[in-house]
Structure 1
Amino acid sequence: MGNRQVEGLDFDKTFAPVVKMTTIREFHKIAAVKGWEVHQMDVHNAFLHGDLEEEVYMRLPHGFVSQDKSKVCRLKKSLYGLCQAPRCWFAKLAVALKAYGFAQQVADYSLFTLECGSMQLFVLVYVDDLLIGGNDLKGIHEFKGYLSACFHMKDLGAMKYFLGIEVSRSPDGFYLSQRKYALDIVSECGLLGCQPVSTPLEQNHKLPDDEGEFYEDVERYRRLVGRLVYLTFTRPELSYVVHMLAQFMQQPRAKHWAAVIRVVRYLKGCPGQGIVLSANSYLQLTAYCDSDFSTCSLSRISVSGFIVMLGDSPIAWKTKKQDVVSFSSTEAEYRAMSFTARELKWDRELLGYFGVSHPQPMRLFCDNKAALHIAANPVFHERTKHIERDCHFIRDEIQDGSLVTAHLTTTEQPADIFTKALGSQQFAYLRRKLGMYNLHAPT
């Protein structure tokens, strides 16, 4: 298939915005608290609905005979396999939603909200999969009828299985897990009968320093690590190990492959592990952040990790290398606090779109007292003069009263699981603190 896209001009406009997983988790938490209905719809042949804005040409399809073999077809509508198709479909859907009265939100462009009197409706878009929720069941059914009139839709009813995520609902809230997906990974590796392990990564590992023989099947390594990345959507305890293994995609070694197999053996022992988004009405944003100073032996860059809780439910987490080398553990912790504070501000903005106000200060816990003192004290410090200004915005948030910080011990720090490999007892203890449960575990 050919086209006339100009590289650097329109060649990069080839994707469809998808709803962030944090938005999905936060929406389900609020739906559990407020008792909203959550339904799911799927679009048949979604990409065929898009309207092309550019001139795109393609070779004649197989079976079509033309006397002039030099001629090609000009497309009037988007087609599967076309680079622009996802973007064109999203634009067509957005127009239909706005025509119904929905507003597209800036914090997440795949979130659409509608308020009409006392009725609240929300639509979360992930390419051709739609989540529809709100406080008015009749309004939801009317809106689904509107969508079915606009597009060829499949009504899947109440949400039970979305993007490989299994959803169970009870009066206590939503339980999200990827049990089937995890078992598929174990089965694909032929490890259904293996002996499970209690942690996904060996403590005090030296994976970045390994100089052993290279692993030959690079494609297999990349495929398996890619599948593990998707598993972190409901498995925050895997964030650090996946972050570590993803660094060796270019040339994995045999030891790196052995580490991947250890993760699969860990999954074998707890495939049904997941998160609970409870119906507890306490909607306070609380975050825990941590860093591991100079953890990368190659670049000496520190690793930041955080988890954000809405009430007692986890809604956001991440493990990420810092952008620059920190001069001290205090600076590394301070950068982790700044990184987490930005996430908190975004989560609070998202709450407003769901009709939830958060007047009380957000809470941020850190286990480094020096970093807490620097954040609270706006006086210039000789030891912090090299820290960029964007890190110091956390001081303004504290002075404005929108954020409060507090200290907790390292042994009680849940974010510790995002920055390093832990022993089995501490790993299991912090995993429980993350709000994770295994409904499939024997009692």
Structure 2
Amino acid sequence: MKRTRYVDSKRHCMDLNSLPKHDDMIVTSDDETGKLTLREILAIQFEMKELRKLRYFLGIEVAYSKQGIFISKRKYVLDLLKEIGKLGCKTLGVPIEKNHRIECEESPTIEKSQYQRLVGKLIYLSHTRLDIAYAISMVSQFMHDHRERHLQEVESILYYLKAGPGKGLLFRKEGTLSMEIYKDVDYARSVVDRRSTFGSKKQNVVTRSLEEAKFRAMTHGIYEGLWMEIILDDLKVKYEGPIKLFCDTTQLLVLPIIQSNMIGQSTKRLTDTSFKRITAHVSTKLQVVNVFTKGLPTTRFQELDDKLGMIDIHLPT
């Protein structure tokens, strides 16, 4: 399905002739009258059927409550476990162990299509399961050269999913919206190429120090924040500014030192931008992004999982 977003505001009109044919389309609005008008216009020009309130879309289940909107892929997880014969498997508390090492091995190879298909399905699942993003980034590095050891790591992710197939994201109803960015890296984690991990994937270059790796991550965080600003402004979403960027390394908050001693022109661009943002130190214990950069003990992993807004509404209270 082609991914397309149309925005209608008081200053812009939607060109209905440019609408492509879709099997499904989601319409969201805070204006019920405008939404009704749009529905009537679409019904005139297209053969369509309204399915009322969104409950299920492309494998994503949507639930509503006084707290907010909850999205998950519970059926998707259960169907996946059933498909590969793991519906009755054991459970694990984390998708990937602390201090893990996944590397190229000389163990027997396995069927390529089987591994790629399974990892591909897990990648799609990670859209609503942020808690498995890092584990998926690790196993997906071996899509073209995978061994039995790599398949065992994939199975560990499935064992973790079995413990809470209905876990998903809760978007809470809150009076204000603010933008906070947490950035961190797991320095030289890859035993294959010594690259650092940030944002659930490896950096494009090999850094010479932990500070340089984290600095690159902060730069990338600012770019992401600026991009998000554009999206929110386009959607007419108001938020409290400025953007807050959190880092757990105090040395990186002293920008003049970094500019003179580290990576030149790239640093200068960050210095110009950072004066318009709040850069603050956050304790390593409160660094939420650690769940995306490294394996963690079960208790610590669950604490950060909660901070991400991950809950399971299907668990008994």
Which of 184, 188, 191 matches 1:294? 188
- Pairing 1:9-20 to 2, within 5 Å after superposition: 17-18=2-3
Root mean square deviation, CA, Å: 2.2
Q: CA shift at 1:408, angstroms?
A: 1.3
1:45-79 residue CA offsets vs partner (Å, 9 max, x unmatched): xxxxxxxxxxxxxxxxxxxxxxxxxxxxxxxxxxx
CA distance 1:238–1:137, shift in 2 (3 Å): same
Q: CA shift at 1:126, angstroms?
A: 10
Instruction: Report the counterpart of residue 238 of structure 2 in structure 1.
Output: 357
Which of 273, 283, 286 matches 1:397? 273
How many residues are paired up? 312
CA distance 1:200–1:150, shift in 2 (3 Å): same
Which residue identity lines up with residue 37 of structure 2 in the other structure?
A: E
Which is greater in Rg?
1
- Pairing 1:341-356 to 2, within 5 Å after superposition: 341-356=222-237
Question: In the aligned structure 2, how far is the partner of 1:184 from the partner of 1:407?
Answer: 43
SS at match of 1:214: coil
Instruction: Report the counterpart of residue 230 of structure 1 in structure 2.
Output: 124
CA distance 1:388–1:259, shift in 2 (3 Å): farther
* Richer in strand (by share): 1
Instruction: Report the counterpart of residue 417 of structure 1 in structure 2.
Output: 291
C-alpha contact 1:378 1:395 (8 A) present in aligned 2: no
C-alpha contact 2:168 2:310 (8 A) present in aligned 1: yes
C-alpha contact 2:176 2:240 (8 A) present in aligned 1: no
Q: CA shift at 1:298, angstroms?
A: 1.5
Taking structure 2 as the reference length, the TM-score comes to: 0.92
Question: In the aligned structure 2, how far is the partner of 1:233 from the partner of 1:392?
Answer: 34
Which of 269, 273, 293 matches 2:167? 273
Q: CA shift at 1:379, angstroms?
A: 6.9
Instruction: Report the counterpart of residue 249 of structure 1 in structure 2.
Output: 143
Question: In the aligned structure 2, how far is the partner of 1:342 from the partner of 1:125?
Answer: 31
SS at match of 1:195: coil
C-alpha contact 1:338 1:392 (8 A) present in aligned 2: no
Which of 289, 305, 308 matches 1:431? 305
Question: In the aligned structure 2, how far is the partner of 1:342 from the partner of 1:354?
Answer: 19
- Pairing 1:360-399 to 2, within 5 Å after superposition: 360-373=241-254, 376-377=255-256, 380-382=259-261, 384=262, 387=263, 389-390=265-266, 392-399=268-275
SS at match of 2:97: coil
SS at match of 2:236: coil
Instruction: Report the counterpart of residue 205 of structure 1 in structure 2.
Output: 100
Question: In the aligned structure 2, how far is the partner of 1:161 from the partner of 1:246?
Answer: 27
1:132-164 residue CA offsets vs partner (Å, 9 max, x unmatched): 111222321221222232222231211111221
C-alpha contact 2:139 2:150 (8 A) present in aligned 1: yes
1:184-225 residue CA offsets vs partner (Å, 9 max, x unmatched): 11111211111111011122222114332222x221111110
Q: Does 1:339 align with 2:220?
A: yes
- Pairing 1:70-149 to 2, within 5 Å after superposition: 110-116=4-10, 128-149=23-44
Higher relative contact order (CA 8 A, sep 6+): 2
Q: Does 1:151 align with 2:46?
A: yes
- Pairing 1:165-204 to 2, within 5 Å after superposition: 165-204=60-99
Question: In the aligned structure 1, how far is the partner of 2:123 from the partner of 2:258?
Answer: 42
Question: In the aligned structure 2, how far is the partner of 1:330 from the partner of 1:271?
Answer: 38
Instruction: Report the counterpart of residue 79 of structure 1 in structure 2.
Output: none
* Richer in helix (by share): 2
Gaps of 5+ in 2: none
1:8-34 residue CA offsets vs partner (Å, 9 max, x unmatched): xxxxxxxx751xxxxxxxxxxxxxxxx
C-alpha contact 2:60 2:71 (8 A) present in aligned 1: yes
C-alpha contact 2:183 2:221 (8 A) present in aligned 1: yes
C-alpha contact 1:229 1:242 (8 A) present in aligned 2: yes
Taking structure 1 as the reference length, the TM-score comes to: 0.67
Instruction: Report the counterpart of residue 280 of structure 2 in structure 1.
Output: 406
> Which region of structure 1 is more displaced relative to structure 2, 388-397 or 346-355?
388-397
Q: CA shift at 1:125, angstroms?
A: 8.9
Instruction: Report the counterpart of residue 207 of structure 2 in structure 1.
Output: 326
C-alpha contact 2:258 2:267 (8 A) present in aligned 1: no
CA distance 1:407–1:264, shift in 2 (3 Å): same
CA distance 1:380–1:198, shift in 2 (3 Å): closer
Q: CA shift at 1:324, angstroms?
A: 0.9
Instruction: Report the counterpart of residue 158 of structure 2 in structure 1.
Output: 264
Percent identity of equivalent pairs: 34
Question: In the aligned structure 1, how far is the partner of 2:225 from the partner of 2:144?
Answer: 34
CA distance 1:378–1:328, shift in 2 (3 Å): closer
CA distance 1:129–1:410, shift in 2 (3 Å): same
Which residue identity lines up with residue 173 of structure 2 in the other structure?
A: A
1:271-290 residue CA offsets vs partner (Å, 9 max, x unmatched): 01111111102211011111
Which residue identity lines up with residue 218 of structure 1 in the other structure?
A: K
Q: CA shift at 1:421, angstroms?
A: 1.1
C-alpha contact 2:123 2:136 (8 A) present in aligned 1: yes
